[in-house]
Structure formats: C-alpha cells, structure tokens
A and B are shown apart, each in its own frame.
Chain A
Amino acid sequence: MTTFRFDGTTYTAQAGDTLAAALLRNGIGLVGRSFKYHRPRGIMTAGVEEPNALVTVGEGGRAEPNTRATDVFVYEGLVAKSQNRWPNLSFDVGAVLGLAAPALSAGFYYKTFFGSAKKWMFYEYFIRKAAGLGNAPTLADPDRFSQRAAFCDVLVVGAGPAGMQAALDAAESGKRVILVEQDNILAPSLLRDRQEQDADWINATAERIRAAGGVILTRTTASGYWEHDLVTLTQRISEPGQIPAQGVAQRLWHVRAGQVILATGSIERPMAFAHNDRPGVMLSQAVRTYVHRFGVVPGKRVVIATNNDDAYKSAQALKDAGAHIVAILDARPAPAGANSGHRVYNDAVPLSTKGARHCLKSVSALVDGKAMDWDADLLAVSGGFTPVVHLHMQAGGTLDWNEDAQAFIPASSRQNVTTIGGAAEPQAIFQMVPVSSPKKSFIDFQNDVTLADVDLAWAEGYRSVEHLKRYTTLGMATDQGKLSNMAALGRLAEKQGVAIPEAGLTTFRPPYTPVTMGLIAGASAKDAGAHVRRLALYDLHAAKNPIWQPLGYWFRPRAYPTGGETLAQAALREAKAVRNNVGMTDVSTLAKFEVSGPDAAAFLEIICATTVNKLAVGRGRYTFMLREDGFVFDDGTVWRLDKNRYLLTSSTGGADRMATHISYVRQFLCPHLRVSAVNVQEHYAGIAVAGPQAKAVLATLIGEEPPRHMSTVPAAIAGVPVIILAASYSGERAFEIYVDASQAEAVWAACEAQVNEAGGALYGLEAMEFLRIEKGHLVVGGEVDGRMTPHDLALDKMLNKAGGYIGASGLARPALSEAGRRQLVGLEAIAGDIPEGAMLIPSEGASPQGHVSAAAFRIIAGGSVALGQLTDGFSRHGEILIASSPTRGQQARVRVVAPHFYDAAGERYRD
C-alpha cells in the first residue's frame, strides 16, 4: 500500500494505480476547475488524452504543472495539488465567471484587444488571475535529463496486441527492434478488456522479443516523427515529482529507424450534450479500465450512452463488478444491443445531465423523439473512436476517410512508416448529430469550447478549420484536441454543408504529449548550454585568480589584478609593463594552419590577398583574407618555416570560419593542388612576450640571438622544442612562442621566471586591447566588421598585384573603392573620454557619419584615444567631431587623426 497527498490530505493507493485511479478509489470525483469558466471537472479518461484532471505533481524544483492525473503512477510520498482554483477546489470564486459565460465566448481575447486599451486593462487583471493552468516552478529542477541516440531496423510504437506481434515477428526475423509503450505496462488494452489468456501471452511475447535482442521501453512516448524516419521518444525514468534513483529523471531518445510501425490504437470520443462536462461523465473505455485494471468501480447506478458495440463491454464489466446498469442509450436503431441482457433504449441520444455537490444525479435523453430521464451517479459515453494518426501525419502522411468509423485513417506517407491495428481499422459507429443546447455542450473540455463557440466563429466568418482553431482556442493546451478535434470538425462540416473530409484538418505537430523543457535542453540544462573551451594553460592562469573574459566559447584572462586592484588599474599596470619593460600573455587561441607541399605558397596566395611566395625561409609577414565579395574577413600572419612549409595564423573569433574556408578552397576549388593544410590551432599553445626587454628575455630563454622582427627560428626553451615568431601586436619588440600544447606548462613557467626576473608582468586581454588600439592595430570583429574593404582599412597597398586571390573580382567592383565610404581613422579626445560604440556627428542633431569601434587611453602619456570608421575619413584628419553615445549618456569632442598614437614610424621594432 502506498500513501500520497492530494490538496494536503493523505490518502492510500494500491500498487500500480495511476493518480486518477487512486483518487477515484478514494471517492474523489472533483479534481479541477475548467480553464475559462472554472466549472467543476472530474476525471474523464484513463489515458494521456485526459482534458480535465490536470494537477501539479511534486514540490519545489521538481514540481510539474499540468500533469494528467491519468498519466502519473502513484509512488510513496507523491504530492499532488489541484489547479486553477481559489481559494479551494470545492468552493471556487472564479466559478462565478461561469455565470457570466458569454463574456468569455469565442474570440474574446481578439475582440478585447481591438477594443479600447482601457477596457483590456480592466479585464486583464481578472483574467490573469483566473485563466490559465498550473504555475511553472520557480526553483531550478535538481534532476538531470539525458539524451540518447538509438538505431534500429524496426521501431514499433504502441505495445498493444498488434504492436507486440509486429515487434515479435521483426525481432525473430533477426532485425534490431525497439518497442515503445507510453503506459507502464504492456498491452494495457488487453488488461482493460480482460481476456483470461492474455496475461500469459503478454509475458511470453515480451520474453521472446527480448530473447531475440529486441528492446522494450515502457513509460516511453514516441512524441515526434521527424525527417528520414527519426523518431524522438520521451522516457519517464522516474514519475513526475519523484526523486530519480540515479539522478536522471527523463531520457530523450533520438531513434533512427529503418522502418516505423505505428500501432498507436485509437482514442474514444465523448458526446456533445448539455452539461456533458460534469464530474461523473466518463468515457466508456476509461470506466472499463478503472473496473478491470485498477479494481475501482466509479459508479453504482450507471447510464451508458453509445453509438457502437464497444460500450457493451463496459456495461458487462460494471455489472460483473456489482454496479447497476440503469440504461443503455444506443443511438442506433433496433435491434442494436437487443441481446446484451441490459435495458437498452434505441434511437437514444443524451440531452443533459443534472448534478448536486459536484456529483452526477441524473441523465436525460431523447429516446425515439421523447424525453426521458434516469437517476444515475455515472454516465459512461462512447461517441466512437479516433485513430491516433499524429505520428503518421508528422511524418508527412496523408489520410483517408473511413465512412463506417466516421474517422480519418492513415493513407500513404513519403517516409517508411506503416500503421497497423486499431489505428488503421477503427470500429464502426453510427453517425449521430448533437440535439441540444449548444451553449452548455462542451466539445473541448480543456479550453472550455462549446458547440456554440464553433457556431459563433462560423457566424463571424471563420471558415477555415485553422482559423476556427485559433479563434476559439479549440485543440490547444496539453491534450492538443485529442478529444475535441473530430467534434469540432463535425460541427464545422455541418455548418458548411459538406462531408467531414471536405472541412479540412488542422496540422499535427510534435510533441504528441507535453514534453518537459529540461528534456529538450538535456545535459545542457545545468550549464551555459555549451562547453567552455579551456586553454591548455588553464591551470596556471587559474592559480593567479585572473578576471576571466569569454571570447567565443573560450575563456581567457582579461587581467591579473593584485592587491585589490580594479580591472582598469590592473590592465593599466600590465600595459605599462609592456611599454616600459616586458610583459607576457597567452595567445593560444589564435587560429593556426600548417600548410605543406610544393603548392603551399600557390595555395596561400589564393587564401590571402597579399603576396606569400616572395617570403624567404625564416621570414613572415602580415596578411589578410577577403570574402568572395571583396570585403576583408580576417587577418593574421604567414610564416615560411621551411621550403615547402608555412604557418598561417588568423583571428581567434574567426578560427572555425577560416578552417571551413580553407577546407572549401582546398577540397572543392583546388583539388588538384599538392598541398596539405592542417588545422593546428590547438596543437600549439602560444605565448607572447612583448616590451623593450623582450629581446633580452628571449635571448636568455633560448640561449642565442633572437630573430629580428618578422623572422622565425626553431629553438628550445626549458628543453622543449618551440617555434619563435618575432611578431608584434603591441607596438613593442615582441615574440610569439609556439609550443606543443602538452608541453606548454614548462615553457610558460620558464618564460614567467625570466619576465619576473626582468621586473615585467603578465598581461591579459584588456591590456592587449589598450596596446593594440594605441598602436592602431586592427581587430577582426571590431574595425574589421565585414563591411570594410582593404581600401577602407588602408590595406590596399599590400594587395597582391598579380590578383588570383579569393575576393579579387568582388573587390574590383567600382563601388568598393568609390568616395563616400567609411574609412578607418584615429580619434583623440579634446574634451571628455571617448565612449566606445559612440556615433560620430559633426554637430548636435546631425546624422551620424561613422562610429567609434574601440576606445582606450594613451598608456604612458594619458588621454582618451580611439579607432573609428568615418565617411571619407582619410581626407578629414584635423576635423573636430562629436563622439556621442545617447545610450550611455556620454559624449566627447574629438579630433580626427591618423590611426597611430604610438611610434608611428615603427622604430621600436628595430634592434
């Protein structure tokens, strides 16, 4: 025996009970209030289609709102709360809205939006309080969600008798089989219909499927059918609100199947009559499920309304369980039901129900044109069967109309999917037309949509079923029209005077049943959603407790504050160390490509817009790359390491893009070249050492004369082989040391020791930014923003005059070098600090003529300086402008100058 709590009271349940079964077992018929009118609602079904019995299960971060009480199995300590009621379930203030029902008729929201705003404000206050379902939890979900791939030859959805047989046949013919069942037992319909031999058959079949290597997943719903026979399954490992034994609450499966067999069965339809939403009105098969599977008899005096044979099985089940079958109202003419042994009324259509204290008291019906009524505490209805065609339709399938069953059945599909069993061959029914008060005849119980709402939408001109759905909200929320769509279609077809298939269908979209958001996020639910890329030297940096800066997926040290320094103070100290002495920093994230082969230079002259083949062995140069349309998209350096071997570097942020570009050019455009271009971004860790003392530090480290500016040599530091590139991004004499990342720690330690010895410092990205701005170096993503040509950035003198590089024809377009383009300029403040991102205007109120792309300070001399883009900027040096940032409320008067604030002649690179 299991105990659980519902709305604060403790109850007991039997093993295997759903929450709905347990509530019924404890005599609880009222479980919720309806969405708009707060009408009392009870349990109507025994499956995922349940529209009424929505509860919040679990507490804190595990709370799951809008859970169908029919779709949660009771575990010890389960806590459930009813929803959409205030102050409590049996007395609900919102129910007075029910008295004013027409106020919330079809299209209410649309009409109110089009009315005066004041009117909406008035309604909104009450509606926000009253409408809606459960509340989303405010705490983080403590559990994990897994996502797992699976592959099979045959995926069978639905472990009813047809599905189990199909799975068995496939498994025993040697195929990889997965069989999924949303219930927690196999073949629940056999249990519902209680045929004595079935339990043995179910167990034996499951055993044989497993023995043949098949996988059976229960409590698993095939919730989406995607392209190329990919089906997503949502598996409940623990029940809603339950603490999972191994931390994982649910698993999302991505199953790629060779073939999909849908044995999804059908869903019983309700009937439309007045007050058909009263607690005590249940679907016939649901009643039978509660009696046979759970041993719960939901009523003592029962009326059954049907248009088919199936409901007679429920009558027998109830009778056997000791209930009194007061009447069977069969819509079919005599002799339907004649030999059933029950009191059968033919040509009988239900009219209305009456109740008291949220219980059913009586049922009235029109029998052969005459009104009759019966006292009853349970009305079991069966309005026919709707095949579950959702997955077939998600797969891009089409439907046929089955006249006998008054139902759509799966027809063809462009994917490898077939439907078998009840979903393909629904039971025949008798077509009936609702006869009474449309205003109280609900067709969508979850959204409180009545026949009258459909009629109103029709009267107001809504003809398409898709419009009808949106106007009335029919078919929305957790049940997605599983019970209501056919009734609405029937009414719409009736209004249009056409057959149902001509009235159209709404689109079936995944998921079939609601999916927890955390499941879609998977393992990423617990972090930023992506892995952080870690530097090879992460541990060494982390030991210094730097301020970290995200850069794409990377995290890099922004500054290394000491003794309570702020970011700005630390960055300025670090930048000064570079200017006055020596600094070192981690540049490992730069994109790097090792390009080898007899055609390496020719290949690089296609990628790069500068010359490459003039480089002598041991020399390097600055280079940049264009897109095919002629705009600059990246820059870096290229080094000739050996006769047929080059190293190309480019920006961190553009690394993946550049890798793809290089591969495209090599593999797609130039398959004939004898070249190997290998991405070595992560193979080499990079350490930059910069400053007036850098050369002396390097000489000590490598034990020889360091290479001159823009030269490269192989060397060893701390016994580890390294490549020294004499390149500078700071304006000082500088070196980049590239080393196999697995041996980088020893090299970093040796460098740091020498830098400390020389009185230098580590520097981070912030200082690097100060240094490069002052020197006027470009950054990709800043000055190089995808809209600038080599002309705009004053790089045109470096273009390879022989052409042949990617982007040469795009760049030849006249508009890319005409007057009136934005051009790179320097800006120095006359008054105030230049705000980054500010627009450049000639006077207050004038249109912007450019913007500030990066702002900093002169490191030694002080004063605000910046780089920017300005229309015809090259010819405007000396002009005074305003750099204005209205969003920051800052502005500065600036003078346009050349973009070099430090050592414009480049003398500091010379030894």
Chain B
Amino acid sequence: MTELTISTLPAAPLHVLEIWSNAASVAKRFKAAMGFALPATGRSGGNDALRLIRFEPTVWLVEGDTSALSGILSDGGAVTAIGGGIVRLRLSGRGWRTLLMEGGVFDAESPTFAAGCSAATIIDHVNVRLHVVDETTCVAYVPLSFSQGLLHFWEQAAESLVG
C-alpha cells in the first residue's frame, strides 16, 4: 500500500484578493509591507501567518490575517471572504501524487509540480484547487457541497492504490 492519509483541516477564514488596476504599484506596495512578493500564477508565497496562493491571473487565494491588505490595495483591488464555501482536505504521505491522478486530468506526478506550486483542475467532476506544501503534503481546496463526495471518492481510491 502506498503511504497516504486524508484529513479534513478545520474551517479557516479564506479570502480572495483581486487586483483590477495599477497591478505593478500594488505589487510593489505589497512586497514592501509584507516582505514577500505576490506569487506568480501557479505559485504560493508567504508564511503561516499570511499565505497567498495564485490560481488565477488577477486573483489570489488568501489564507491568514487579511487586516493589512485593504490598505495595500487602496483602490486597486478588493478582498472578499469565501472561506465558508471551501473545505480544505490535506493529503499526507508520498501517495498523494498517485491519488490525484485517479479521476483526474492534471499531471500531479510531474516533478515540476513541487513545493510552493499550485494548480486548479477537475477531479472526478469536482473543481479542485491544489497547493503543494512539501513533498509529502498537498492541500486540496474543495467546494463545500462536493467535499463529502470527493472525500468518499478519495478514501475509496486510496484503498486500492498500489505502488
């Protein structure tokens, strides 16, 4: 059996940050204030207190304390709460890459999909957002209404994973 555990993380405040204009100056202000750059598409940035994961060209998923963001954005963008609609499922163990290939269409087995990478894709008909935390941990952000169904699908698929 491939080493793999699936756990549901506790609900947390999640937000989306969208930049609609003056992106370069917002990015500059952000880096100056936060100490890290707004991550590129398919990447995450930050730390445990504030992490931004970019899944869309103009939108970042924000995990953590958003209190400083409005000031940084000024009139260049907005922050909107979305955490209630998302369940975070943590896949731990080396088997997570194989698991994500089940019912999937995205190359989660590629070595370039490494720690700090993100991707949105569809798995077993569910729109899933993935963030690679480290080589043995990947967190999936799953729509609440589909989370029970996908969890069931993954638990069943995990049973039959070999090698």
Chain A interface residues toward B at CB < 8 A: 144, 146-151, 246-248, 254, 256, 522-523, 530-536, 553-554, 594, 596-598, 644-645, 673-676, 678, 680-685, 739-744
Contact = CB atoms under 8 A, between A and B. Distances in A.
B20 A597 contact: yes
B80 interface: yes
Nearest to B108: A149
A523 B156 contact: yes
A587 to B, nearest CB: 14
Interface stretch (B31-39, B45-53, B96-104): B96-104
A618 to B, nearest CB: 19
A246 B162 CA distance: 9
28 contacts: A148-B102, A149-B101, A149-B104, A149-B107, A150-B101, A150-B109, A151-B109, A523-B153, A531-B126, A532-B149, A533-B145, A533-B146, A534-B145, A536-B84, A596-B78, A596-B80, A645-B78, A674-B20, A676-B20, A678-B16, A678-B18, A680-B80, A683-B82, A683-B83, A683-B84, A739-B84, A740-B83, A743-B84
B112 to A, nearest CB: 11
A683 B82 CA distance: 5
A521 to B, nearest CB: 12
Given A534-B145, A536-B144, A742 B84 contact: yes
Interface of A is mostly: mixed
B124 interface: yes
Given A150-B109, A682-B84, A530 B103 contact: no
Contacts of B107: 149, 151, 256
B160 A246 contact: yes
Nearest to B20: A674
A681 B149 contact: no
Contacts of B110: 151
B77 interface: yes
B158 to A, nearest CB: 11
A676 B78 contact: yes
A554 B107 CA distance: 30
Residues of B in contact with A, size category: 35 or more
B148 interface: yes
B21 interface: yes
B84 A534 contact: no
B75 interface: yes
A530 B20 contact: no
Given A149-B106, A594-B80, A740-B84, A674 B149 contact: no
Greatest chain A CB density within 10 A among B101, B145, B146, B160 is at: B145
A523 B80 contact: no
Given A147-B102, A246-B159, A534-B145, A523 B84 contact: no
B150 interface: yes
Interface string B67-88: 0000000010110111111100
A676 B81 contact: no
B57 to A, nearest CB: 9
A505 to B, nearest CB: 33
B117 to A, nearest CB: 15
Question: Which of B77, B80, B146 neighbours the largest number of chain A CB atoms within 10 Å of its CB?
Answer: B80
Contacts of B104: 148-149
Given A144-B160, A246-B162, A676 B83 contact: no
Nearest to B77: A676
Contact of A523 (B77, B103, B144, B159): B103
A272 to B, nearest CB: 46
Contacts of B144: 534, 536, 682, 741
Contacts of A594: 80
B20 A146 contact: no
Contacts of B143: 682
B20 A673 contact: yes
Given A150-B109, A533-B146, A683-B83, A523 B160 contact: no
The 5 A-B pairs at the shortest CB distance, nearest first, are namely A682-B85, A531-B149, A742-B11, A741-B84, A533-B145
A387 B11 CA distance: 59
Contacts of B156: 144, 247, 523
A107 B108 CA distance: 52
Nearest to A535: B145
Contacts of B82: 678, 680, 683
Contacts of A149: 101, 104-107
B18 A674 contact: no
B113 to A, nearest CB: 10
B11 A531 contact: no
A678 B162 contact: no
Contacts of B18: 676, 678
Contacts of B78: 596-597, 644-645, 676
B85 A674 contact: no
Given A146-B157, A534-B145, A683-B86, 12 more contacts: A149-B105, A150-B101, A247-B156, A248-B160, A530-B125, A531-B125, A533-B145, A676-B77, A678-B16, A680-B81, A681-B85, A683-B84
A684 B145 CA distance: 12
A510 to B, nearest CB: 18
B124 A523 contact: yes
Nearest to B143: A682
A636 B147 CA distance: 27
A603 to B, nearest CB: 11
Contacts of A534: 144-149
A683 B80 CA distance: 10
A536 B143 CA distance: 11
B145 A682 contact: yes
Nearest to A530: B125
Contacts of A644: 78
Interface string B109-126: 110000000000000111
